[in-house]
Amino acid sequence: MKTIIRKRVLKAGIAVVGLSSLAVAVSAHAQQTLNIVSWGGAYSMSQHEAYDKPWMEKTGDEIVNIDRSGNALAGLRAQSQAGNVTWDLVDMLPADAMIACAEGLIEPLDHDELLADAPDGTPPSEDFVDGALGDCFVASIVYSNIVAFNSDMFPEDDQPSTIEDVFDLENYPGKRALLRKPINNMEWALIADGVDREEVYAMLETEEGVQRAFDKLDTIKDEVIWWEEGAQPPQLLADQEVAFASAYNGRIFNAMVTEDQPFEIIWDAQVFELDGWVVPTGKLDKVKDYLHFATDTQRLADQAQYISYGPARLSSSELVSTHAETGMEMTPHMPTHEPNFATALQKDDLFWADYNDELTQRFNAWLSR
Amino acid sequence: MSESPAAPLRTADGVPLKVSLRRTVRRSKIKALLLVAPLLIFLFIAFLMPLFEMLWRSVDNPEVSTHLSRTVSALEGWNGESLPDEAAFAALAEDLREGQQERNLGLLSSRLNYEKSGMRSTISRTARRVDTLEPPYRASLIEVNDTWGELDTWKLIQREASPYTISYYLAAVDLQLSPDGEIVKVPEHMRIHATLFWRTLWMSAVITGLTLLLGYPVAFLLASLPARHSNLLMILVLLPFWTSLLVRTTTWIAILQSQGVLNDVMVALGLIADEARWQMIHNKLGTIIAMTHILLPFMILPLYSVMKTIPPSYMRAARSLGGKPFLSFRRVYFPLTIPGIAAGGILVFILSIGYYITPALVGGQSGRFITNYIAYHMQTSLNWGLAAAIASILLFVVIICYLVFNRLIGVDKVKLG
C-alpha cells in the first residue's frame, strides 16, 4: 500500500493541495488487493473492462486476475484444506457452486442485503433472472453452449442451420469439434435423434435414454475431435481443421467480430446456463463492496459491450448497447435474443450434480473404445 | 606370533586412543549428517509425507461415520433384510438436520454418489426440506425422497460406515462392491481404468524399445568419434534436452497434424491425396512418436557413459581373432553395453509410465495414459480417493518393475552416467 501511495504522491507532484486531497481519498476506503478468479481470455477481458477498471479508478484497489475458474472447485477445496484461502472472489458455474456451498467452502449470500437494487428500486431478488440467485451464488451472465460452423466450408445455398445437421455426415461432411465431456453432447444427441427438449433430462435418467444418446454419438464418433479448453474451438474452426465446433457463444462472437472470421452460430438447441460469483468462506467482508458494485445494473450492461453474454439482470437488458470496438448492435448476438432463444434448453444443474460422475466415466470408457 | 595384552594405547594427553578415535569419528559423522540434513528434511517433507498422505487417502473413508454418526449407530445390528426401523430413520433425519445447519453434507453426498448415482441430489433435496420432516420419520423421509425407501441405500450407508474402504482400489481396477457386498466387475460400458493401466504399460515398453533402437547407434557414434565431432554430436543430443518439454511437444503437433508440415509436404509431392491426409497425431502413434523423441536423451546418455569405458582394443582383438564384424559385436561389444541398456531402459520405462503432459497434448482419445486420469480425478471429478488409489497402484507397479529388474540384472551394475 505504501508504494501505491508513494506513486500517487509522485504523480501528484509536490503540490500540497494534491497531497491533502489524496489523504482524504485514502482514509475513505482502505486500499487493498483483491484476488479475483475467472475464466481468462475474452471473458476475463470483458470483466476487466466493465468492472475492474472503474472499480480501481474509484477506490485505488488493486485487482489481480487469476485464470483458474476451470478448476475452481478443486482450487477452493485445496485452499480450504490447507487452511490458507488466497482467493477473494471466484467466478464459477452454478452446479459447482451448489457443491461448494454444501461443503461449506463458500459464503451463503443474502442477496437483497448485499446487492444493489435496480435503478427503479426493484430489489435484486426480483430483478435477477430465474435461477440466478443460489444459496451461495449470484449470477452475472447468461451464456450459451452452441455449435458454430465455418461458413466457408459449405456451399452458400446450403448452410447448416439445425442441431440435426451437426449429426448429418452425409449432407454436411467434415470433422466436428466437441467438448470432451458428456455435458451438452448427451442433450444434443437426444434432440438430434428426435427427442422433445422438455423430455431430454427425464430420458437421460434412464438406461435406454443414455444408450440412445451414445448410439447417436456413435454415428459421428469417427469424425469428432474433442476439445478441452474454451479457446480451442474458434482456433480449430479458423484453421478449417473442423467444419463444426461446439463452443461458448461469446468466444465465437469474439472471433467473428474482432478477427473477422467467417463463422456462423447455430442457435437451434442452444444449451444455456448461468455463470457468476461466489465468495470463499471468510472473505465476505473484504469483497462485499466490490460484489455490490460489479453486479449492479450498469456494470452488467457495460460488460455486454465487450462480449455477447446476456446480463443476468432484467434491468440491464434494456441498457445493452453496442460493441465497444466495432459499434455493432449487440442485442442480436445475445443468447437471450428472441429468435435465438426459441428452441433453447436450460442446463439442468441438479441432473448433472447427480449423474456427472457416472456419465463421465461411461463417456470416457466410450471414448477409449 | 601374538602380541601380549599390554596397557591400552594412549594419546599424548592421556585419553585412551580407542576413546579418542571414537570421538573423532562421531564428530565427523555428525558433521556429515548436518551436511545432508537439509536434503533429508526436504525429502521427508516433499516426498515421504505426501507419499504417505496419498496411501492414506486411498483407503480413508471418514465421511459416513462422521456425518451420519447417529444413523450408523442406529444401524448397528440391522440385518439388512428389510428396511431398518423407525429409530434409524429418526437418526437420519437428525443427522441431516445437523449437517444442513453446519453445511457439511457436501463431502458425504459426494462420497455416497460415487457408489450410487443420485445420492447427491437425494441428500441435498432431503436436507433442504429437513424442517418439514416430522414423525414418523420413515414415512416422512420416503415421501420427501423415495430413495430412502430402497434397501440398497441403507445397505450402502451401513457398508460405508467403516472408517476404511477398499472401494477406491476396486474402482481403480474397474471393480465394485455389489449392494450385497460381493466384489463384481463394473458393467462393460463403464470399464476404463484397467484398459488404461494395460495401455500405459505396453506403450511405455514400445517407447523404451524405440529409444533403444534409435539411441544405441547414436551413443555408439558419440563414444567412438574423435572428440571434435563427438562434442558437436553431444550438443545436438543435449540441445533438445534443454528445450522446454511443452515446446517440443507442440512442435510435434505442428509437424504431424493433418494440416501440418509433414502432410503438406507429402501432398505437395503427390505421395498422398489431399483428402487422404494421414492422422498421425491425437492418437497412439502421436504419443509414441513425441515421447520417443522427448525421452531419447535418457537412453543415449547412460548408453554413452558405458560405451565410453569400453576400450576400442577389445573390438580390434575380436576382429584379429577372426570374428566377423557382426559376430564380434554380438559376442564382445554388445554384452559389455548391457548395463547401459539396462540403465537407459529402466529410466525411460519408469519415466514414461508416469508421463502426463505429452499424452494429454498429443494423445487424443486413444493415446492417453492412466496418469491423465489421475489428473482428471484430482482436478475435475475431485475424487481424490480414487486418484490416490490409481497413483498408489502405479507406484506398486514401478516398485515391482524395479524388483524384477534388480533380480534380473542387478541395480549395482547400472551406470547412470
pLDDT digits (tens, 9 = 90+) for A141-165: 999 999 999 999 999 999 999 999 9
Per the domain annotation, does B4 fall within a domain?
A: no
Q: Give the mean model confidence (pLDDT) for residues A288-300.
A: 94
Q: Are residues B198 and B311 in the same domain?
A: yes
Per the domain annotation, does B38 fall within a domain?
A: no
Whole-number Å distance between alpha carbons of A85 and A72 = 12
Whole-number Å distance between alpha carbons of A226 and A219 = 15
Question: Quick check: helix, strand or coil at residue B184?
Answer: strand
Out of A73, A102, A368, name the one closest to residue B105 (CB). Answer: A102
Residue B209: name the closest of B328, B104, B303, B292 by CA. B292
Q: Are residues B154 and B204 in the same domain?
A: no
Model confidence at A14, pLDDT cuts 50, 70, 90, reads very low
Per the domain annotation, does B72 fall within a domain?
A: yes
Domain residue extents for chain A? 2-141+275-317, 143-274+343-367
Taking an 8 Å cut-off on Cβ atoms, the answer to whether A101 and B102 are in contact is no
Q: How, if at all, do strands A176-179 and A224-227 pair?
A: parallel
What is chain B's Cα-based Rg? 32
Q: How, if at all, do strands A263-278 and A137-150 pair?
A: antiparallel
What is chain A's Cα-based Rg? 22
Residues in Cβ contact with A112 at an 8 Å cutoff, skipping those fewer than 6 apart? A123, A124, A125
Taking an 8 Å cut-off on Cβ atoms, the answer to whether B192 and A74 are in contact is no
In this model, does residue A263 exceed pLDDT 90?
yes
Q: Which residues of A touch B117 (CB under 8 A)?
A: 354-355, 357-358
Per the domain annotation, does B174 fall within a domain?
A: no
Residues in Cβ contact with A177 at an 8 Å cutoff, skipping those fewer than 6 apart? A224, A225, A226, A227, A232, A233, A236, A237, A241, A242, A244, A245, A246
Q: Which helix (H) or strand (E) holds A256?
A: helix A249-258
CATH assignment of A143-274+343-367, given 3.40.50.300, 3.30.450.20, 3.40.190.10, 3.50.50.60?
Answer: 3.40.190.10
Model confidence at B413, pLDDT cuts 50, 70, 90, reads low
Find the residue in A nearest to B100 (Cα).
A102
How far B147 CA lies from chain A's nearest CA (Å)? 13
Q: Are residues B245 and B100 in the same domain?
A: no
pTM value? 0.80
Whole-number Å distance between alpha carbons of B196 and B184 = 19
pLDDT at B341: 92
Whole-number Å distance between alpha carbons of A94 and A112 = 19
In this model, does residue A26 exceed pLDDT 90?
no
Query: Around Cβ B383, how many Cβ atoms within 10 Å?
Result: 21
Write out the three cell numbers for B328.
Answer: 564380434
Residues in Cβ contact with B162 at an 8 Å cutoff, skipping those fewer than 6 apart? B61, B65
CATH number of domain containing B202: 1.10.3720.10
Using an 8 Å Cβ cutoff, are B267 and B277 in contact?
yes
> Which amino acid makes up residue A62?
E
Per the domain annotation, does B32 fall within a domain?
A: no
Write out the three cell numbers for B197.
Answer: 493401466
Out of A226, A354, A368, name the one closest to residue B121 (CB). Answer: A354
Using an 8 Å Cβ cutoff, are A78 and A24 in contact?
no
Q: What phi, psi does B63 have (nearest 5°)?
A: -60, -55
Taking an 8 Å cut-off on Cβ atoms, the answer to whether A368 and B195 are in contact is yes
- Mutation pick from A68, A109, A228, A354 vs chain B, by most beta carbons of B within 10 Å, is A354
Model confidence at B415, pLDDT cuts 50, 70, 90, reads low
Residue bearing cell 429409530: B87
Model confidence at A337, pLDDT cuts 50, 70, 90, reads confident
Per the domain annotation, does B40 fall within a domain?
A: no
Burial of B274 (0-12, 13-18, 19+ CB in 10 A): exposed
Taking an 8 Å cut-off on Cβ atoms, the answer to whether A73 and B382 are in contact is yes
DSSP string of B326-377? HHHIIIIIHHHHHHHHHHHHHHHHHHHHT--HHHHHH-TTTT--HHHHHHHH
How far A316 CA lies from chain B's nearest CA (Å)? 31
How far A359 CA lies from chain B's nearest CA (Å)? 9
In this model, does residue B374 exceed pLDDT 90?
yes
**Any chain A CB within 8 A of the CB of B383?**
yes
Taking an 8 Å cut-off on Cβ atoms, the answer to whether B103 and A104 are in contact is yes
Taking an 8 Å cut-off on Cβ atoms, the answer to whether A102 and B124 are in contact is yes
Could you say which of B162, B180, B202 is where a domain stops?
A: B162
How far B210 CA lies from chain A's nearest CA (Å)? 24
Q: Give the mean model confidence (pLDDT) for residues B126-144.
A: 87
Taking an 8 Å cut-off on Cβ atoms, the answer to whether B117 and A354 are in contact is yes
Out of A71, A99, A226, name the one closest to residue B365 (CB). Answer: A226
pLDDT at A15: 42
Residues constituting chain A: 369
How far A197 CA lies from chain B's nearest CA (Å)? 22
Q: At what angle do helices B119-128 and B86-102 cross, to 10 degrees?
A: 80
**Any chain A CB within 8 A of the CB of B79?**
no
Find the residue in A nearest to B368 (Cα).
A368
Whole-number Å distance between alpha carbons of B58 and B165 = 8
Whole-number Å distance between alpha carbons of A205 and B186 = 19
Model confidence at B416, pLDDT cuts 50, 70, 90, reads low
Model confidence at A11, pLDDT cuts 50, 70, 90, reads very low
Percent of chain B with pLDDT over 90: 50
Taking an 8 Å cut-off on Cβ atoms, the answer to whether B365 and A367 are in contact is yes
pLDDT at B281: 85
Using an 8 Å Cβ cutoff, are B142 and B149 in contact?
yes
Whole-number Å distance between alpha carbons of A253 and A241 = 19
Q: Give the mean model confidence (pLDDT) for residues B141-166.
A: 91
A-B CB pairs within 8 A amount to: 78
Q: How, if at all, do strands A244-248 and A137-150 pair?
A: antiparallel
Q: How many domains does the structure of chain B reveal? A: 2
Per the domain annotation, does B185 fall within a domain?
A: no
pLDDT at A18: 42
Write out the three cell numbers for A71.
Answer: 478448476
Question: Quick check: helix, strand or coil at residue B138?
Answer: helix
Using an 8 Å Cβ cutoff, are A324 and A318 in contact?
no
How far A130 CA lies from chain B's nearest CA (Å)? 19
Find the residue in A nearest to B195 (Cα).
A368
Q: Give the mean model confidence (pLDDT) for residues A76-101.
A: 91
Using an 8 Å Cβ cutoff, are A313 and A297 in contact?
yes
What are the C-alpha distances in Å from B253 to residues A240, B208, B209, B250, B360?
16, 21, 23, 5, 12
Find the residue in A nearest to B378 (Cα).
A74
Whole-number Å distance between alpha carbons of B385 and B159 = 17
Model confidence at A29, pLDDT cuts 50, 70, 90, reads low
Write out the three cell numbers for A191.
Answer: 434432440
Least confident interval from A292-296, B258-262, B289-293? B258-262
- Mutation pick from B119, B280, B379, B390 vs chain A, by most beta carbons of A within 10 Å, is B379
Taking an 8 Å cut-off on Cβ atoms, the answer to whether B257 and A241 are in contact is yes
Long-range contacts, B402-409 (Cβ 8 Å, 24+): B402/B346, B402/B350, B405/B342, B405/B346, B409/B338, B409/B339, B409/B342
Residue bearing cell 516426498: B47
DSSP state of B260: S
Residues in Cβ contact with B348 at an 8 Å cutoff, skipping those fewer than 6 apart? B207, B208, B211, B295, B298, B299
pLDDT at A323: 86
CATH assignment of A2-141+275-317, given 3.40.190.10, 3.30.300.30, 3.40.1010.10, 3.20.20.70?
Answer: 3.40.190.10
Long-range contacts, A117-125 (Cβ 8 Å, 24+): A118/A297, A118/A313, A118/A314, A118/A315, A119/A297, A119/A315, A120/A315, A122/A315, A124/A295, A124/A313
In this model, does residue A258 exceed pLDDT 90?
no
pLDDT at A6: 46
Whole-number Å distance between alpha carbons of B376 and A212 = 26
Whole-number Å distance between alpha carbons of B330 and B324 = 10
Full domain range(s) for residue B97: 63-162
Find the residue in B nearest to A70 (Cα).
B380
Q: Give the mean model confidence (pLDDT) for residues B127-150.
A: 88
Write out the three cell numbers for A67.
Answer: 485464470
Out of A102, A353, A358, name the one closest to residue B103 (CB). Answer: A102
pLDDT at A183: 93
Q: Are residues B235 and B371 in the same domain?
A: yes
Q: Are residues B140 and B197 in the same domain?
A: no
pLDDT at A9: 43
- Mutation pick from A153, A361, A369 vs chain B, by most beta carbons of B within 10 Å, is A361
Q: What phi, psi does B333 have (nearest 5°)?
A: -75, -50
Percent of chain A with pLDDT over 90: 62
Q: Which residue has the higher pLDDT, A185 or A367?
A: A185
Residue A298: name the closest of A162, A127, A157 by CA. A127
Taking an 8 Å cut-off on Cβ atoms, the answer to whether A102 and B191 are in contact is no
How far A123 CA lies from chain B's nearest CA (Å)? 24
Q: Which residues of A touch B258 (CB under 8 A)?
A: 241
Residues on A contacting B at a C-beta cutoff of 8 Å = 71, 73-74, 77, 98-105, 108, 214, 225-226, 239-241, 350, 353-358, 360-362, 364-368
Using an 8 Å Cβ cutoff, are A257 and A325 in contact?
yes
Residue bearing cell 467482508: A285
Query: Around Cβ A28, how many Cβ atoms within 10 Å?
Result: 9
**Any chain A CB within 8 A of the CB of B274?**
no
> What is the helix, strand, coil percentage profile of chain A, to 5?
50, 20, 35
Model confidence at B260, pLDDT cuts 50, 70, 90, reads confident
Using an 8 Å Cβ cutoff, are A191 and A269 in contact?
yes
Whole-number Å distance between alpha carbons of A36 and B12 = 73
With a CB-CB cutoff of 8 Å, which residues 111-150 of chain B face chain A? 113-114, 117-121, 124
Could you read off the pLDDT of B29-74 as tens digits, one per residue? 999 999 999 999 999 999 999 999 999 999 999 999 999 999 999 9
Could you read off the pLDDT of A204-246 as tens digits, one per residue? 999 999 999 999 999 999 999 889 888 889 999 998 889 999 9
Average pLDDT for chain A: 88
Find the residue in B nearest to A222 (Cα).
B365
Using an 8 Å Cβ cutoff, are A175 and A242 in contact?
yes
Taking an 8 Å cut-off on Cβ atoms, the answer to whether B192 and A103 are in contact is no
pLDDT at B391: 95
Using an 8 Å Cβ cutoff, are A249 and A238 in contact?
no
pLDDT at B417: 52
> What is the helix, strand, coil percentage profile of chain B, to 5?
70, 0, 25
Q: Are residues B205 and B93 in the same domain?
A: no
What are the C-alpha distances in Å from B228 to residues B216, B224, B238, B241?
20, 11, 16, 21
Out of B121, B190, B282, name the one closest to residue A365 (CB). Answer: B190
In this model, does residue B215 exceed pLDDT 80?
yes
Q: Which residues of B touch A98 (CB under 8 A)?
A: 124
Write out the three cell numbers for A39.
Answer: 475464466
**Any chain A CB within 8 A of the CB of B369?**
no
Q: Which residues of A touch B114 (CB under 8 A)?
A: 357
